[in-house]
Amino acid sequence: MSMLPVAEAQDQLLSRAKPVQTSEIVSLQEAEGRVLATDVAAKLTQPPFNASAMDGYALRREDAPEPGAELKLIGTSSAGRGFDGAVGKGETVRIFTGAPVPSGADSVLLQEDAEKIDGGIRTTFTVRIGQHIRPRGQDFLEGEAVLKAGTALDFSRLTVAAGMNHAVLEVWRKPVVALLATGDELLPPGSSPAPAQIIASSTFGIAALARKAGADVLDLGIVPDDKRAISAAVERARQAEVDVIVTLGGASVGDHDLVQAALLAAGMKLDFWRIAMRPGKPLMVGRFDETHVIGLPGNPVSSLVCGLLFLEPLIRKLASLPPVKREAKVETTATLRANDQRQDYVRATLSRSSSGALTAKPFSKQDSSMMKIFAQADCLIIRPPHAPELPAGSPCPVILLRPDLLD
pLDDT of 227 over the 70 cut: yes
In a domain, 268, yes or no: yes
User: End of a domain among 112, 134, 156?
Assistant: 134
CATH number at residue 243: 3.40.980.10
Span 181-196, mean pLDDT? 92
pTM of the full structure: 0.90
Reported as a pLDDT band with limits 50, 70 and 90, residue 369 is confident
Give me the number of domains the chain comprises: 4
Span 122-137, mean pLDDT? 96
In a domain, 98, yes or no: yes
pLDDT of 1 over the 70 cut: no
The 3-state secondary structure of the chain reads CCCECHHHHHHHHHHCCCCCCCEEEEEHHHCCCCEECCCEECCCCECCCCEECCCEEEECHHHCCCCCCEEEEEEEEECCECCCCECCCCEEEEECCCCECCECCCEEEEHHHEEEECCEEEECCCCCCCCCEECCCCCECCCCEEECCCCECCHHHHHHHHHCCCCEEEEECCCEEEEEEECCCEECCCCCCCCCCEECCHHHHHHHHHHHHCCEEEEEEEECCCHHHHHHHHHHHHHCCCCEEEEECCCCCCCCCCHHHHHHHCCCEEEEECECEECCCCCEEEEECCEEEEEECCCHHHHHHHHHHHHHHHHHHHCCCCCCCCEEEEEECCCECCCCCCEEEEEEEEEECCCCCEEEEECCCCCCCCHHHHHHCCEEEEECCCCCCECCCCEEEEEECCHHHHC
In a domain, 407, yes or no: no
* Predicted pLDDT of residue 253: 59
Question: Across the beta sheet with 70-77, what order do the strands follow?
Answer: 107-110, 56-59, 91-95, 70-77, 120-123, 114-117
* Predicted pLDDT of residue 368: 84
pLDDT of 255 over the 60 cut: no
* Predicted pLDDT of residue 252: 65
Residues 240 and 286 in one domain: yes
Cα(9)–Cα(20) distance, integer angstroms = 22
Residues 203 and 303 in one domain: yes
Rounded-to-10 torsion of CA 87, 90, 93, 98: 70
Query: To the nearest whole number, what is the mean pLDDT of the chain?
Result: 95
Residues 58 and 41 in one domain: no
User: End of a domain among 150, 172, 194?
Assistant: 172
Residues 39 and 166 in one domain: yes
Provide Rg for the chain, Cα atoms. Answer: 31
In a domain, 76, yes or no: yes
In a domain, 406, yes or no: no
Reported as a pLDDT band with limits 50, 70 and 90, residue 380 is very high
295 beta partners: 247, 284
Q: What angle do CA 141, 165, 147 make, to 5 degrees?
A: 60
Residues 123 and 184 in one domain: no
Span 293-305, mean pLDDT? 94
Reported as a pLDDT band with limits 50, 70 and 90, residue 407 is low
- What domain range is 152 assigned to? 23-46+139-172
> b or e along 116-145 (b: 16 or more beta carbons within 10 Å of the residue's beta carbon)?
eeeebbebeeebeeebbbbebbebbeeeee
On whether the CB atoms of residues 323 and 313 are closer than 8 A, the answer is yes
Start-to-end C-alpha separation, the chain: 42
In a domain, 109, yes or no: yes
* Predicted pLDDT of residue 357: 87
Residues 293 and 233 in one domain: yes
User: End of a domain among 113, 134, 155?
Assistant: 134
CATH number at residue 156: 3.90.105.10
pLDDT of 109 over the 80 cut: yes
* Predicted pLDDT of residue 2: 80
Residues 202 and 282 in one domain: yes
Reported as a pLDDT band with limits 50, 70 and 90, residue 251 is low
